């Protein structure tokens, strides 16, 4: 999944296209941070957290 995002970023030619990709990546990173914060604030096991991280990164 990450590879596709990098390819999309490399393939954008106009500034507006790059801005859209940047905004999308920024939104995704923000969402992942929120999920990680929520997980670390609860009593989940590290195994559960890593399985969530694995699912998100694929």
Query: Tens digit of pLDDT for each residue in 21-33?
Result: 788 888 988 888 8
**pLDDT in the model for residue 39:** 76
Count CA within 13 A, CB hemisphere, residue 48.
Answer: 9
Question: 57: closest CA among 34, 29, 26, 18?
Answer: 29
Q: What is the mean predicted confidence (pLDDT) over 10-14?
A: 59
Tell whether the model's pLDDT for residue 43 goes beyond 60.
no
Helices (H), 1-58: 2-11, 15-40, 46-57
């Amino acid at each position: 999944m990450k590879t596709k995002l990098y390819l999309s970023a490399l393939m954008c030619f106009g500034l507006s296209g790059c801005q859209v990709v940047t905004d999308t990546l920024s939104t995704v990173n923000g969402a992942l941070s929120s999920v990680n914060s929520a997980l670390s604030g609860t009593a989940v096991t590290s195994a559960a957290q890593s399985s969530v991280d694995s699912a998100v990164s694929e």
